[in-house]
């Protein structure tokens, strides 16, 4: 059987043997259904409509909604220009206030931990360290590396004095006087290193307290933290795809590029030297060989998962730039 067409009038069906006379009647979709079956169909339809109205999921065929819903049309194409300008002005004012709140919260995140760490280290740590030094003169003794460096400094001082004696700019000294001078110089080096160790310990305590205060301030779900995230997201979304790609490539090459090994080594030397921590070179090389690789894996995962959702154009631009 092959259906030719249908319209609002009687249904006409053509078969291989001609027109079906019995089909020339008004087609009723409810034909053959009893009252109970019709009631069940109507009840099911009403339940589906009620469930869809109470659900938060978008309606099916959402693309056709503006053609059928006047509110959607008026929302998308608002003819009132003054109302549109007022809405844009309100949005700009809201973004401005949010940016100010983000800057204020960022200032508090920097100032409060630093001030708290400095005050606590001065009020508590310094008296404790002074008391420890009075009871134990070797509380901040020189480490093995400091002793080697001190010996090099004493040897250089001896060479300097002999050079001054040779050119006549210093009086000649016998062996006993030279040993006495070098002994005094070594005591000065020892005191400088002791003070340096004490300062390193105070710095470690102060920075630890500042880090704890910073973490406690940042981990709280406040409006300031939300303002920072919204402001950073708005600034990132405001960039073009090329700017996003260039910024991401710059950060990636700085942390994970061909010359990043020297950068990581220098950073670790400065960071550990700031606290007076002595680490073997093998441990530094092991750290540099593991941590950048882990960051690289996480970075690629974020680009594949997160950046594809935020800005697919930036991902395409990154791929194009990597080819060249």
Lowest mean pLDDT segment, chosen from 46-55, 88-97, 299-308:
46-55
Does 288 score more than 80 pLDDT?
yes
Does 128 score more than 90 pLDDT?
no
**Span 264-273, average pLDDT:** 86
What pLDDT does 284 receive?
87
Does 129 score more than 50 pLDDT?
yes
User: Which runs of consecutive H residues, i.e. helices, occur in the chain?
Assistant: 35-54, 65-68, 70-76, 81-120, 126-135, 144-166, 175-219, 223-238, 241-256, 260-274, 281-302, 308-310, 312-323
For 117, the token pair is 């760490």
For 17, the token pair is 């043997």
Handedness of CA 100, 105, 110, 115 (dihedral sign): positive
Report the SS3 class of residue 222. Answer: coil
Model pTM score: 0.60
CA distances from 220 to 104, 105, 210, 214 (A): 16, 12, 16, 10
Q: Give the span between the Cα atoms of 294 and 291, in whole angstroms.
A: 5
**Span 273-298, average pLDDT:** 85
For every residue of 7-69, DSSP letters joined together read -SS----EETTEE-GGG-S---TTTT--HHHHHHHHHHHHHHHHHHHH--SPPSSGGGHHHH-
Q: Other C-beta atoms within 10 Å of 210: how many? A: 20
Lowest mean pLDDT segment, chosen from 19-23, 133-137, 211-215, 292-296:
19-23
Does 246 score more than 50 pLDDT?
yes
Does 319 score more than 90 pLDDT?
no
Q: Give the span between the Cα atoms of 25 and 63, in whole angstroms.
A: 37
Closest CA to 239 of 223, 224, 250, 254: 250
**Span 256-279, average pLDDT:** 82
Q: Is 271 exposed, middle or buried (0-12, 13-18, 19+ CB in 10 A)?
A: exposed
**Span 189-209, average pLDDT:** 88
Residue 277 DSSP one-character state: -
Does 156 score more than 90 pLDDT?
yes
**Span 272-288, average pLDDT:** 84
**Span 262-281, average pLDDT:** 84
What pLDDT does 295 receive?
87
Report the SS3 class of residue 4. Answer: coil
Closest CA to 133 of 199, 198, 200, 205: 198
Find tokens 């005591």 and name the residue: 187
Does 160 score more than 80 pLDDT?
yes
Confidence of residue 118 (pLDDT cuts 50, 70, 90): confident
Query: Per residue in 74-93, pLDDT tens?
Result: 555 556 667 666 777 777 78
Does 56 score more than 50 pLDDT?
no
**Span 308-322, average pLDDT:** 78
**Span 1-18, average pLDDT:** 44
Lowest mean pLDDT segment, chosen from 21-35, 263-277, 289-303:
21-35
Confidence of residue 278 (pLDDT cuts 50, 70, 90): confident
Report the SS3 class of residue 2. Answer: strand
**Span 139-144, average pLDDT:** 80
């Amino acid at each position: 059987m092959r259906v030719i067409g249908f319209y609002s009038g009687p249904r006409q069906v053509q078969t291989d043997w001609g027109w079906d006379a019995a089909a020339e009647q008004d087609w009723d979709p409810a034909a053959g259904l009893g009252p109970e079956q019709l009631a069940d169909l109507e009840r099911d339809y009403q339940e589906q409509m009620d469930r869809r109205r109470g659900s938060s999921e978008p309606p099916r065929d959402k693309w056709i909604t503006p053609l059928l819903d006047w509110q959607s049309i008026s929302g998308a194409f608002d003819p009132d220009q003054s109302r549109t300008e007022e809405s844009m002005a309100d949005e700009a004012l809201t973004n401005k206030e949010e940016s100010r709140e983000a800057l204020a919260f960022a200032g508090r995140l920097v100032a409060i931990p630093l001030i708290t760490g400095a005050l606590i280290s001065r009020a508590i740590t310094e008296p404790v360290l002074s008391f420890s030094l009075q009871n134990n003169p070797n509380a901040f003794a020189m480490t093995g590396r400091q002793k080697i460096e001190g010996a090099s400094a004493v040897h250089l001082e001896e060479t300097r004095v002999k050079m001054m004696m040779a050119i006549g700019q210093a009086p000649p000294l016998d062996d006993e006087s030279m040993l006495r001078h070098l002994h005094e110089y070594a005591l000065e080096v020892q005191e400088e290193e002791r003070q340096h160790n004490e300062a390193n310990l105070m710095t470690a305590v102060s920075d630890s307290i500042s880090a704890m205060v910073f973490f406690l301030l940042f981990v709280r779900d406040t409006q300031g933290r939300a303002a920072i995230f919204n402001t950073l997201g708005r600034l990132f979304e405001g960039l073009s795809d090329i700017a996003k790609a260039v910024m991401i490539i710059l950060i990636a090459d700085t942390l994970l590029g061909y010359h990043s090994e020297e950068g990581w080594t220098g950073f670790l030397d400065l960071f550990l030297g700031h606290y007076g921590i002595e680490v073997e070179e093998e441990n530094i090389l092991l750290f540099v060989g593991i941590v950048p690789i882990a960051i690289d894996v996480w970075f690629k995962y974020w680009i594949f998962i997160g950046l594809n959702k935020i800005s697919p154009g930036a991902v395409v631009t990154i791929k194009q730039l990597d080819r060249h």
